[in-house]
Protein backbone atom coordinates (compact mmCIF):
# COMPACT_ATOMS: atom_id res chain seq x y z
CA UNK A 1 0.00 0.00 0.00
CA UNK A 2 1.32 3.42 -0.95
CA UNK A 3 0.75 6.33 1.39
CA UNK A 4 0.61 9.86 0.03
CA UNK A 5 2.25 12.18 2.51
CA UNK A 6 0.98 15.75 2.48
CA UNK A 7 3.29 18.26 4.18
CA UNK A 8 1.76 19.58 7.37
CA UNK A 9 0.63 23.18 7.24
CA UNK A 10 2.86 25.44 9.32
CA UNK A 11 0.65 27.14 11.92
CA UNK A 12 0.49 30.93 11.85
CA UNK A 13 1.87 31.33 15.36
CA UNK A 14 5.31 30.08 14.29
CA UNK A 15 5.63 32.58 11.45
CA UNK A 16 8.20 35.35 11.90
CA UNK A 17 6.90 38.88 12.47
CA UNK A 18 9.77 41.37 12.57
CA UNK A 19 9.93 45.13 12.85
CA UNK A 20 12.85 47.53 12.61
CA UNK A 21 12.44 51.25 13.28
CA UNK A 22 15.12 53.91 13.60
CA UNK A 23 15.71 57.66 13.41
CA UNK A 24 18.83 59.18 11.86
CA UNK A 25 19.83 62.72 12.79
CA UNK A 26 22.58 65.07 11.66
CA UNK A 27 24.67 67.03 14.18
CA UNK A 28 27.35 69.19 12.58
CA UNK A 29 28.84 67.09 9.79
CA UNK A 30 28.02 63.75 11.41
CA UNK A 31 24.93 61.55 10.96
CA UNK A 32 24.06 59.21 13.82
CA UNK A 33 21.37 56.62 14.46
CA UNK A 34 18.86 57.34 17.23
CA UNK A 35 15.94 55.52 18.89
CA UNK A 36 16.38 52.06 17.39
CA UNK A 37 13.58 49.52 17.86
CA UNK A 38 14.25 45.90 16.82
CA UNK A 39 12.06 42.84 17.15
CA UNK A 40 11.43 39.46 15.54
CA UNK A 41 14.91 38.80 14.18
CA UNK A 42 15.48 42.10 12.34
CA UNK A 43 18.58 44.02 13.41
CA UNK A 44 20.42 47.21 12.45
CA UNK A 45 24.18 47.71 12.68
CA UNK A 46 26.10 50.85 11.75
CA UNK A 47 29.79 50.13 11.02
CA UNK A 48 32.28 52.96 10.82
CA UNK A 49 32.57 54.39 7.31
CA UNK A 50 34.61 57.20 5.81
CA UNK A 51 31.61 59.25 4.65
CA UNK A 52 28.19 59.79 6.18
CA UNK A 53 26.46 56.96 8.04
CA UNK A 54 25.90 53.38 6.85
CA UNK A 55 23.12 51.23 8.23
CA UNK A 56 23.26 47.48 7.56
CA UNK A 57 19.94 45.62 7.83
CA UNK A 58 20.23 42.06 9.12
CA UNK A 59 17.63 39.29 9.05
CA UNK A 60 18.86 36.80 11.63
CA UNK A 61 16.37 34.22 10.34
CA UNK A 62 18.42 33.86 7.16
CA UNK A 63 15.48 34.39 4.84
CA UNK A 64 11.74 34.98 4.54
CA UNK A 65 9.12 32.21 4.35
CA UNK A 66 5.43 32.27 3.47
CA UNK A 67 3.38 34.02 6.13
CA UNK A 68 6.38 35.95 7.51
CA UNK A 69 6.09 39.72 7.80
CA UNK A 70 8.95 42.22 7.96
CA UNK A 71 8.44 45.95 8.51
CA UNK A 72 11.18 48.58 8.08
CA UNK A 73 10.45 52.18 9.09
CA UNK A 74 13.05 54.97 9.03
CA UNK A 75 12.98 58.71 9.71
CA UNK A 76 15.95 60.60 8.27
CA UNK A 77 16.34 64.10 9.66
CA UNK A 78 17.30 67.32 7.84
CA UNK A 79 20.83 67.38 6.43
CA UNK A 80 21.57 63.72 7.19
CA UNK A 81 23.80 61.60 4.94
CA UNK A 82 22.78 57.95 5.06
CA UNK A 83 23.29 54.69 3.17
CA UNK A 84 21.01 51.75 3.98
CA UNK A 85 21.95 48.30 2.70
CA UNK A 86 21.59 44.63 3.67
CA UNK A 87 24.10 42.17 5.06
CA UNK A 88 23.34 39.69 2.27
CA UNK A 89 20.83 38.84 -0.43
CA UNK A 90 17.30 38.36 0.92
CA UNK A 91 16.09 34.81 0.21
CA UNK A 92 12.35 34.28 -0.26
CA UNK A 93 11.55 30.63 0.41
CA UNK A 94 8.70 28.45 -0.89
CA UNK A 95 5.34 29.36 0.65
CA UNK A 96 2.72 26.78 1.58
CA UNK A 97 -0.19 29.23 1.40
CA UNK A 98 0.06 32.80 2.67
CA UNK A 99 2.56 35.14 1.00
CA UNK A 100 5.47 36.74 2.78
CA UNK A 101 5.12 40.49 3.30
CA UNK A 102 7.85 43.13 3.37
CA UNK A 103 6.85 46.75 4.05
CA UNK A 104 9.40 49.56 3.81
CA UNK A 105 8.84 53.23 4.69
CA UNK A 106 11.37 56.08 4.48
CA UNK A 107 10.74 59.71 5.41
CA UNK A 108 13.58 61.96 4.25
CA UNK A 109 14.01 65.47 5.64
CA UNK A 110 15.10 68.66 3.92
CA UNK A 111 18.64 68.69 2.47
CA UNK A 112 19.13 65.04 3.48
CA UNK A 113 20.73 62.56 1.04
CA UNK A 114 19.72 58.91 1.37
CA UNK A 115 20.87 55.81 -0.51
CA UNK A 116 18.66 52.71 -0.37
CA UNK A 117 20.98 49.99 -1.69
CA UNK A 118 19.93 46.50 -0.55
CA UNK A 119 21.50 43.43 -2.11
CA UNK A 120 19.42 41.14 -4.32
CA UNK A 121 16.07 39.62 -3.47
CA UNK A 122 16.17 35.96 -4.55
CA UNK A 123 12.82 34.28 -5.25
CA UNK A 124 12.95 30.50 -4.75
CA UNK A 125 10.63 28.22 -6.68
CA UNK A 126 7.21 28.39 -5.00
CA UNK A 127 7.94 31.72 -3.30
CA UNK A 128 5.08 34.14 -2.71
CA UNK A 129 6.04 37.72 -1.86
CA UNK A 130 4.15 40.97 -1.45
CA UNK A 131 6.45 43.96 -1.04
CA UNK A 132 5.54 47.59 -0.49
CA UNK A 133 7.85 50.62 -0.60
CA UNK A 134 6.69 54.09 0.49
CA UNK A 135 9.07 57.05 0.45
CA UNK A 136 8.38 60.69 1.32
CA UNK A 137 10.87 63.40 0.34
CA UNK A 138 11.11 67.14 0.83
CA UNK A 139 11.82 69.49 -2.08
CA UNK A 140 15.56 69.70 -1.32
CA UNK A 141 16.17 66.11 -0.22
CA UNK A 142 17.84 63.46 -2.41
CA UNK A 143 17.24 59.77 -2.91
CA UNK A 144 19.34 57.14 -4.69
CA UNK A 145 17.54 53.81 -4.82
CA UNK A 146 18.48 50.41 -6.18
CA UNK A 147 16.46 47.20 -6.08
CA UNK A 148 17.36 43.97 -7.89
CA UNK A 149 15.50 40.67 -8.12
CA UNK A 150 16.78 37.21 -9.06
CA UNK A 151 14.15 34.73 -10.26
CA UNK A 152 15.09 31.24 -9.11
CA UNK A 153 18.29 29.52 -8.06
CA UNK A 154 19.85 28.71 -11.40
CA UNK A 155 22.84 26.97 -9.82
CA UNK A 156 20.39 24.59 -8.10
CA UNK A 157 18.66 23.72 -11.36
CA UNK A 158 15.51 25.76 -10.80
CA UNK A 159 14.69 26.13 -14.48
CA UNK A 160 10.89 26.24 -14.21
CA UNK A 161 9.86 28.80 -11.61
CA UNK A 162 6.33 29.12 -10.25
CA UNK A 163 5.13 31.48 -7.55
CA UNK A 164 3.88 34.99 -6.98
CA UNK A 165 5.58 38.37 -6.71
CA UNK A 166 3.85 41.70 -6.22
CA UNK A 167 5.92 44.87 -5.86
CA UNK A 168 4.22 48.19 -5.08
CA UNK A 169 6.17 51.49 -4.93
CA UNK A 170 4.98 54.99 -4.09
CA UNK A 171 7.43 57.92 -3.91
CA UNK A 172 6.21 61.38 -2.98
CA UNK A 173 7.90 64.79 -2.88
CA UNK A 174 6.24 67.48 -0.78
CA UNK A 175 3.34 65.00 -0.35
CA UNK A 176 2.81 64.89 -4.14
CA UNK A 177 3.11 61.55 -5.92
CA UNK A 178 6.00 61.64 -8.40
CA UNK A 179 6.74 57.93 -8.97
CA UNK A 180 4.50 54.87 -8.84
CA UNK A 181 5.46 51.31 -9.71
CA UNK A 182 3.17 48.31 -9.67
CA UNK A 183 4.40 44.89 -10.76
CA UNK A 184 2.73 41.52 -10.38
CA UNK A 185 3.74 38.09 -11.68
CA UNK A 186 1.64 35.06 -10.72
CA UNK A 187 1.75 31.37 -11.51
CA UNK A 188 4.17 30.40 -14.26
CA UNK A 189 6.85 33.02 -13.61
CA UNK A 190 9.31 31.46 -16.07
CA UNK A 191 6.72 31.60 -18.86
CA UNK A 192 5.95 35.23 -18.10
CA UNK A 193 9.62 36.24 -17.99
CA UNK A 194 10.25 34.50 -21.32
CA UNK A 195 7.69 36.68 -23.10
CA UNK A 196 9.42 39.37 -25.22
CA UNK A 197 7.23 42.15 -23.83
CA UNK A 198 7.94 41.16 -20.21
CA UNK A 199 11.49 39.90 -19.73
CA UNK A 200 12.71 38.43 -22.98
CA UNK A 201 14.18 35.46 -21.13
CA UNK A 202 15.51 37.45 -18.19
CA UNK A 203 16.17 35.75 -14.86
CA UNK A 204 17.36 38.92 -13.11
CA UNK A 205 16.19 42.51 -13.14
CA UNK A 206 17.16 45.74 -11.44
CA UNK A 207 15.88 49.28 -11.17
CA UNK A 208 17.96 52.32 -10.22
CA UNK A 209 16.25 55.62 -9.35
CA UNK A 210 17.91 58.93 -8.53
CA UNK A 211 15.71 61.80 -7.35
CA UNK A 212 17.50 65.02 -6.55
CA UNK A 213 17.78 68.65 -7.65
CA UNK A 214 20.65 67.53 -9.95
CA UNK A 215 18.88 64.37 -11.13
CA UNK A 216 18.23 65.10 -14.83
CA UNK A 217 21.71 66.59 -15.27
CA UNK A 218 23.28 63.21 -14.49
CA UNK A 219 21.55 61.24 -17.25
CA UNK A 220 24.43 61.46 -19.74
CA UNK A 221 26.92 60.44 -17.06
CA UNK A 222 24.82 57.39 -16.17
CA UNK A 223 24.42 56.34 -19.79
CA UNK A 224 28.16 56.66 -20.34
CA UNK A 225 28.91 54.46 -17.34
CA UNK A 226 26.61 51.75 -18.73
CA UNK A 227 27.85 51.92 -22.31
CA UNK A 228 29.71 48.60 -22.01
CA UNK A 229 27.35 46.92 -19.55
CA UNK A 230 26.99 43.15 -20.15
CA UNK A 231 23.19 43.26 -19.95
CA UNK A 232 20.22 45.00 -21.52
CA UNK A 233 19.44 48.41 -20.03
CA UNK A 234 17.61 51.67 -20.60
CA UNK A 235 17.84 55.06 -18.87
CA UNK A 236 15.52 58.06 -19.00
CA UNK A 237 14.68 61.20 -17.06
CA UNK A 238 11.48 63.03 -16.21
CA UNK A 239 9.87 64.83 -13.30
CA UNK A 240 13.25 65.64 -11.70
CA UNK A 241 14.48 62.04 -11.59
CA UNK A 242 16.58 59.53 -13.49
CA UNK A 243 15.37 55.93 -13.85
CA UNK A 244 17.47 53.01 -15.11
CA UNK A 245 16.16 49.49 -15.74
CA UNK A 246 18.36 46.44 -16.34
CA UNK A 247 17.55 42.90 -17.49
CA UNK A 248 19.56 39.76 -18.20
CA UNK A 249 19.27 35.96 -18.27
CA UNK A 250 22.38 36.08 -16.03
CA UNK A 251 22.11 37.38 -12.44
CA UNK A 252 25.90 37.75 -12.37
CA UNK A 253 25.82 40.15 -15.32
CA UNK A 254 23.13 42.31 -13.70
CA UNK A 255 25.11 42.46 -10.45
CA UNK A 256 28.28 43.35 -12.35
CA UNK A 257 26.49 46.17 -14.19
CA UNK A 258 24.90 47.67 -11.09
CA UNK A 259 28.12 47.41 -9.07
CA UNK A 260 29.98 49.29 -11.81
CA UNK A 261 27.16 51.85 -12.03
CA UNK A 262 27.22 52.47 -8.28
CA UNK A 263 30.98 52.91 -8.25
CA UNK A 264 30.87 55.42 -11.10
CA UNK A 265 27.81 57.27 -9.81
CA UNK A 266 28.89 57.48 -6.16
CA UNK A 267 32.58 58.06 -6.83
CA UNK A 268 33.38 55.19 -4.46
CA UNK A 269 32.79 51.47 -4.19
CA UNK A 270 29.49 49.83 -3.37
CA UNK A 271 28.88 49.31 0.38
CA UNK A 272 31.50 47.13 2.03
CA UNK A 273 29.06 44.30 2.81
CA UNK A 274 28.57 43.84 -0.96
CA UNK A 275 32.12 42.55 -1.30
Identify the pLDDT of residue 96.
Answer: 85
Identify the pLDDT of residue 6.
Answer: 43
Q: Which residues of the chain have pLDDT under 50?
A: 1-3, 5-6
Q: Does 91 map to a domain?
A: yes
Identify the pLDDT of residue 259.
Answer: 95
Q: Does 237 map to a domain?
A: no
Identify the pLDDT of residue 52.
Answer: 83
Identify the pLDDT of residue 9.
Answer: 58
Number of folded domains in the chain? 1
Identify the pLDDT of residue 3.
Answer: 45
Identify the pLDDT of residue 122.
Answer: 96
Identify the pLDDT of residue 152.
Answer: 92
* DSSP three-state, residue 134: strand
Q: Give the Cα separation of 55 and 45 in Å (integer).
A: 6
Q: Does 106 map to a domain?
A: yes
Identify the pLDDT of residue 260.
Answer: 95
Q: Under a CB-based contact definition with an 8 Å cutoff, are residues 53 and 115 in contact? A: no
Q: Does 81 map to a domain?
A: yes
Identify the pLDDT of residue 40.
Answer: 93
Helices (H), 207-273: 219-225, 251-266
Q: Give the Cα separation of 68 and 101 in Å (integer).
A: 6
Identify the pLDDT of residue 29.
Answer: 87
Q: Under a CB-based contact definition with an 8 Å cutoff, are residues 129 and 99 in contact? A: yes
Nearest to 145 by CA among 272, 266, 275: 266
135: CB partners within 8 A, 6+ apart: 105, 106, 107, 108, 116, 143, 145, 169, 170, 171, 172
Q: Does 247 map to a domain?
A: no
Q: Does 235 map to a domain?
A: no
**What residue numbers bound the domain in which 39 lies?**
16-212
* DSSP three-state, residue 233: strand
Identify the pLDDT of residue 12.
Answer: 55
Identify the pLDDT of residue 1.
Answer: 41
Q: Does 146 map to a domain?
A: yes
Q: Does 127 map to a domain?
A: yes
Amino acid sequence: MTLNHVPAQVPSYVRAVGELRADFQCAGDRTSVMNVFETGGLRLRCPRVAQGCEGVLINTGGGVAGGDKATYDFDIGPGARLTLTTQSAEKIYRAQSDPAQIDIALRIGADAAVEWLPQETILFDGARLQRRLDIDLEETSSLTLLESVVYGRMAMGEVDLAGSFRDRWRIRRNRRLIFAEEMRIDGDMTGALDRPAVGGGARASAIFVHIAPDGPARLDEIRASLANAPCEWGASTWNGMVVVRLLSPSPEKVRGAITSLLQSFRGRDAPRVWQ
